[in-house]
Every structure is written in C-alpha cells, then in structure tokens.
C-alpha cells in the first residue's frame, strides 16, 4: 500500500497501523509521521472503519522522536517548520483510537500513545519522557497530556528525572486502561477495537467528543455539552434501534446513521 515506515491493515471495521522501523526502535522521523497521519486520516474518512489500533513491535512501540534527525536542527528550523505540529492531525481523528503498547514508549512515542483514546499495555511496556536527558523537553503534548492523565506529582517526577515507569505503575497512575500478557496484546487491542466498532459510529463520535470536553472546559460547560450531545443522539436511527432492540430482547443492528 505504498508505505515504507508503517504497515496498514483492515480487519472488518477495524483499521490497524503498525509502526515499522525496527532498526531504530520505531523512532518517529518525519517520513513515519507523514505516513501515520495519512493512514489515520484515510481510516477516519472511511465510515466502514469504526476503530483504529496503533501499535509497534514487541520491543518498542516507539523509542521517541528520531534523535538523529533532530541533532543538527536550529531554533529557526524547528520554529519555521512548526516541528512536530503535524501530529496534531493524528490527535484530531474522530474515529476512536487505541494504542497497543509493548516495550518502549518513550518521548514522542509516549506522547503519540497518549494521543489515542485508550491505551492498552503489554506487561513489558515501559513509558517515559526522557527528553530532559537530551537537554530538551516533550514537544508533542507530553507535558500536557501526561499531567492530565497521571497528575502533577508523577508528571513532574517523570519529566524532570527522565525515569521510565513500567506497565503496573502506568496502570496505577491511570495512564493505561488495562495490562495484558505481552503475547496477547494485539489480540486484546483488536477485540476491543471490534467491540467499539460494532457500536453506532455517530454515538461513538458523540461519546468521544463529550469525554474530550472534560479536558477543555469547566464542569458546568462540559455537563451542558454532554446533555446537548446526548439530546442530539435522539436524532439517530441507531438510538431508536438500540432502545427498540433492548425492549424486543434482541441484539441491535446499527447502520451508523
């Protein structure tokens, strides 16, 4: 399918993007970023896809932004190219996204995983923001998303020391929703994606947008947004079907409309 740094597959209503630069532990260079954004955008525009899984290898989800690519850049270079801002497009995908993380998710790798709606970790997963050890700081949302996910104390600890945290600590801290045996990771992520993709896609968009509001607004504004969005689901054929199916004691058939 023309990609060099990722593998893209579809399984029914699930889209799978696998980061594939094994010689560099999936370090995120510009070419890889462009491909991930393109593949995710294509899945997002395809309403035959109801959930997207982003994964890496067993050794590394991604060991960070590509340090070799950044070494000689100047301030003017990164400012004028708005370096890393293209990832914002990945975060803006409306289709539910799941990061399936095994091995290292460091720096930009951790940040891209945190852009996903749901994070499932293998037992061998290790998360960290080691940018400080390179004389820089996270630049793809790490100081913001990690702090919202795990709170100030642990975000300060991780970002100021650069230390890594294992899957158990990440789950305790609220960064990941579940931990699974490493060999089960992809199956678990795909099963979860299939489950999500079997729901009404407009309802999934609504749920995702409403949760996102929790990070963007006051409680009162967020609750109002939720209430209006909930009201709006009564315009969906899928909402009528879901409730009718319950009453008739049968499984619903969602048409994503």
Active site residues: 65, 108, 111, 131
Nearer to ligand HXC, 137 or 240 (CB): 137
Q: Judging by beta carbons within 10 Å of its beta carbon (0-12, 13-18, 19+), is residue 67 exposed, middle or buried?
A: middle
For the CB of residue 181, give the shortest distance to ligand HXC in the complex, in Å.
21
Question: What is the footprint of ligand HXC within residues 224-243 (CB under 6 A)?
Answer: none
* CB under 8 A, 24+ apart: contacts of 141-145: 141/87, 141/91, 141/111, 141/114, 141/115, 142/107, 142/110, 142/111, 142/114, 145/111, 145/114, 145/115
CA 92 to CA 40: how far, in whole Å? 10
- Is residue 27 a contact residue for ligand HXC (CB under 6 A)? yes
Nearer to ligand HXC, 64 or 96 (CB): 64
Nearer to ligand HXC, 16 or 140 (CB): 140
- Is residue 38 a contact residue for ligand HXC (CB under 6 A)? no
Query: Helix 142-150 crosses helix 108-115 at what angle (to 10 degrees)?
Result: 60
- Is residue 63 a contact residue for ligand HXC (CB under 6 A)? yes
- Is residue 67 a contact residue for ligand HXC (CB under 6 A)? yes
**Residue ranges in contact with ligand HXC by CB under 6 A:** 24-25, 27, 63-68, 84, 104, 106-108, 130-131, 134, 136, 138-140
């Amino acid at each position: 399918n023309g990609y060099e740094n990722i593998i893209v597959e579809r399984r029914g209503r699930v889209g799978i993007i696998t980061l594939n630069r094994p010689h560099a532990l999936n370090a995120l260079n510009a070419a890889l970023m462009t491909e991930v954004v393109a593949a995710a955008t294509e899945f997002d525009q395809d309403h035959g896809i109801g959930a997207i899984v982003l994964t890496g290898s067993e050794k590394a989800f991604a060991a960070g932004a590509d340090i070799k690519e950044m070494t000689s850049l100047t301030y003017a270079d990164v400012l004028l190219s708005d370096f890393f801002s293209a990832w914002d497009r990945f975060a803006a995908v409306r289709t539910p996204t799941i990061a399936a993380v095994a091995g290292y998710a460091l720096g930009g790798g951790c940040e891209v995983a945190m852009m996903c709606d749901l994070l499932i970790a293998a037992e061998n997963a290790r998360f960290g923001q080691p940018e400080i050890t390179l004389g820089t700081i996270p630049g793809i949302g790490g100081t913001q998303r990690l702090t919202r996910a795990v709170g100030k104390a642990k975000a300060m600890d991780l970002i100021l020391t650069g230390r890594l945290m294992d899957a158990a600590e990440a789950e305790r801290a609220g960064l990941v929703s579940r931990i699974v045996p490493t060999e089960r990771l992809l199956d678990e992520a795909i099963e979860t994606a299939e489950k999500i993709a079997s729901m009404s896609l407009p309802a999934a968009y609504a749920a995702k947008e409403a949760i996102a509001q929790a990070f963007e607004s006051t409680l009162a504004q967020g609750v109002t947004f939720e209430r209006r969005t909930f009201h709006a689901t009564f315009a969906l054929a899928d909402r009528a079907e879901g409730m009718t199916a319950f009453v008739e004691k049968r499984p619903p058939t969602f048409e994503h409309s």
